[in-house]
Amino acid sequence: MATERMEQDNEMEQDQGPETVFEDQISELPDAIILHILSFLPTLYAVRMSLLSKRWRRMWTMVPVLDFCDSRDICYFRGRDERNNGRRKFYKFVNECLKHPFADTAISKFKLSMEYYGGSSRMDCWLRFPVEKYVKELDLYVRSRRSLYYLPHFMLHLRSLTLLKLDGLALEIPVPTSLPSLKELYLLNIQMDDKVLNNLLLSCTSIEKLHVNYCDGLLSPKVSSLSLKSMEFITGGLHCYCRTIEVEAINLQSFVHSGAFYSKKCDMNLVHCRAIRNLSLVEMFLTDQWLEDLIPQLPFLESLELKDCCGLQHVKIWNQHLKNFVFTLRGRWDSLEATIDTPNLLSFSYSGNSMFKISVNAPNLSDVAIRVPDYLRKTYDEDWYASLIKFLSEFNGSKKIYIFSCNEKALIIPDEVKKMYSSPLPELEHVKVRTGGRPFRKAMLRKSLLWIAPRYCQ
């Protein structure tokens, strides 16, 4: 029996053919390529890769990026029956990594994400490393559990820094700072007051991109910069509310501000930002007069977005250079009136549940998108269809129209209403229509659409 089994095993080995040899092709790559690949990995994984071969043993110490994250890395250190031991091992791992001699390695990026339970000495010590290595990019995310972590002052004198991203900590700047090389600054969920922000920006003489999102303590911030090109300012929540926002940036090209519906009116001054090309206002309380005064003062404005803003009654948009306009409304706005006088407008997009009164003067208008996302409405009366016809008729001179309605009933115009009005789009040749689901009244819908745009409809 044993002899027969050995003979069968020999036959199986012969059938399998020659043994396959797997080559380590990654190790054959040049060091520069391997380091580039490792730079996209968290530091923990880069260290573990050093166990693959002798050549890789010290490779991780030459990687120009250090990335530590406790929520991700602790899972590796923590055993089945361990709780806090995983965090202690994470602290030890970071300490050991930062003690390694990186004398010949230029660290370009330092990223640290962790929970903070108080006692700033450990964090302060770790942050000495990117200062000593003159890093160019610093990304620090702190999830405060017991107390806020205050960024040490020496971090704001890192003259090599080109990108700084801070999230979840507090800033105090009692002394002047110096960040002359900083190009991009991201402040998210930061505790600071107006003076701190103003002083910080004064030291960023080369800044081009600024994001200030959900920061607590700002009441009347002032942003002044000659180099700033792009800015995003987002408020929200009961503690993130500004009374006024003043921006003085003569080279600013893109500005985004998002508020909250329950926030009070925020006075915003952009009169010194005449170079703006892209303007986006989201969930803000606006007045007709403020908007009417602002738009003509931006002679280079090409793209405008008004999304879910309240307080408007008579919207007037007049601008010679505007090319793209996105208008979104939440809720019912049947009493709203809008006048759009934009001779160079190329595209217009509207999303809302109301077909308000609108007047459009845009002889070069090419693309129009109209979306009616009201999936709760079940019935449509004569006033709705009359408003829809009048609304669509303002875009008869455009080249293409895309219409989306969540409910097909919104587009099936009754015969008695058709007798009262003319076709709103008699000259339009390109129309595309979509509904929220498979249409149940396909024949009726097609008949109505052929009346709306007799020349072409798909």
Identify the structural domains of the chain with CATH numbers, from first to last. Answer: 29-105 (no CATH), 114-276 (3.80.10)
- Indicate the residue type of 372: V
Supply the pLDDT for residue 263. 56
Supply the pLDDT for residue 12. 41
Residue 229 phi, psi (nearest 5): -115, -25
First to last CA, the chain: 77
Predicted TM-score (pTM) of this structure: 0.86
**In this structure, are residues 245 and 267 in contact, taking their beta carbons and an 8 Å threshold?**
yes
Q: Give the rounded distance of the alpha carbon of 49 from its chain centre.
A: 33
β-bridge partners, 348: 325, 368
Per DSSP, the three-state class of 118 is coil
Supply the pLDDT for residue 457. 54
pLDDT in tens, 184-234: 999 999 999 999 999 999 999 999 999 999 999 999 999 999 999 999 999
β-bridge partners, 433: 403
Q: Within the chain, which residues score under 70 in pLDDT?
A: 1-27, 75-84, 103, 237-240, 261-264, 376, 456-458
Query: What DSSP assignment string belongs to 364-414?
Result: T--EEEEEE---S-----HHHHHHHHHHHHTTTTSSEEEEEESSGGGG---
pLDDT in tens, 120-150: 999 999 999 999 999 999 999 999 888 899 9
Query: What DSSP assignment string belongs to 215-271?
Result: -BS-SS-EEE-SS--EEEEE--STT---SEEEEE-TT--EEEEE--TTSPP-EEE-T
Supply the pLDDT for residue 60. 81
Supply the pLDDT for residue 198. 92
- Indicate the residue type of 70: D
**Burial category of 256 from C-beta neighbours within 10 Å (exposed 0-12, middle 13-18, buried 19 and up):** middle
Residue among 203, 208, 159, 157 nearest 181 (CA): 159
DSSP state of 151: P
Structure tokens at 130: 């990117």
Supply the pLDDT for residue 119. 84
Integer Cα distance of 245 and 294 in angstroms: 14
List, in order, residues 6 or more apart from 203 with CB less than 8 Å away.
156, 176, 177, 178, 179, 180
Structure tokens at 141: 């995310």
Q: Which residue matches tokens 């009366």?
A: 381
Supply the pLDDT for residue 35. 80
